[in-house]
Chain A
Amino acid sequence: MKQVLPEVGTRLPERAVSPFTSAELAAYADISGDTNPLHLDTGIARKAGLAAPPVHGMLLFAAFEPLLREWRPDLRIGRLSGRFTQPVLEGEPVTLSGRVVRVSEGETPQILLRLMANGTSRAPALVGEAVLTPREAP
């Protein structure tokens, strides 16, 4: 049976991500090996002009996978990319959003989504893209 693909302009359900704690930043640093002290030491963050340590960009990045998976479990992620444009600080809530910007049908359909993670500042913290393909596609 032919899979029903999303239409261009379809929005993903927005997802509120509760603030990351210092313990969570430490746990992520430990597992990822990204032990940059900027993420872990309030004193260093303050010296860099930030009120608190910034959340690892990859923590925000990783949050998109469950969002995409829950939105369309029948699709798999073929590509995921992101630019970290603004720091999100420890203790700051984040909202994830996304929109379908292109759908190419054919033998291997592809759905291109534009993704954003926003903290409390006006500008997005992360701007990304995902390409999804049907799970049965090669």
Chain B
Amino acid sequence: MPELRLGPFVVRTERTKIEAYRSATRGGGQGVPVAFPICWLGEPEIRTAIEDACGDRLPLHEGQSFVYARALEMGAEYRLSVVLGEEADPPRLVLKAECRTPAGELCVSMETLLRLVSPALELSA
């Protein structure tokens, strides 16, 4: 699969969504949680691209990283760009995303590794 570039999408750090995220992750604190940007990968266009790339294989979240150049602010708007690539051996999708301010300043880079497995694979083996 050739690399697929998606976005930039307008994403937000809405207080209500962040509070719901905090509650769901048993987190506390005041600011935007470090791992909150993972929720932005649920953007319909990104999700559809992942589903298309998976085909009949099941994506298993294998790895994740967040590298912060500057903290995200509560109630702000950002731009998210994603590059979706595929590796063959072992089969996995690699999503590299960057979140920037509307002025273009980098805030956070994240990488998501999704291992692609046959639905029949026994995970407990």
Contact = CB atoms under 8 A, between A and B. Distances in A.
A79 B67 contact: yes
A80 interface: yes
Interface stretch (A4-12, A59-67, A112-120): A59-67
A108 interface: no
B123 A77 contact: no
Interface of B: 17, 20-21, 23-29, 33-35, 38-39, 41-42, 47, 58-68, 71, 119-125
Interface residues of A, number: 37
Nearest to B19: A31
Contacts, number: 107
A61 B68 contact: no
A57 B113 CA distance: 12
Contacts of A30: 24
B87 to A, nearest CB: 15
A65 B33 contact: yes
B27 A56 contact: no
B35 A65 contact: yes
Contact of B29 (A47, A56, A65): A65
A36 B42 contact: no
Contact of B25 (A38, A51, A59): A59
Contacts of B122: 48-49
A78 B35 contact: no
20 contacts: A28-B24, A31-B20, A31-B39, A33-B39, A33-B47, A47-B120, A48-B119, A48-B121, A49-B125, A58-B35, A62-B26, A62-B35, A65-B29, A65-B34, A78-B67, A79-B68, A80-B65, A81-B63, A84-B60, A84-B61
A65 B42 contact: no
The 9 tightest CB contacts between A and B, nearest first, are A33-B42, A49-B122, A81-B65, A62-B25, A49-B124, A27-B24, A28-B24, A83-B63, A57-B61
Interface in A10-42: 17, 24, 27-28, 30-34, 36, 38
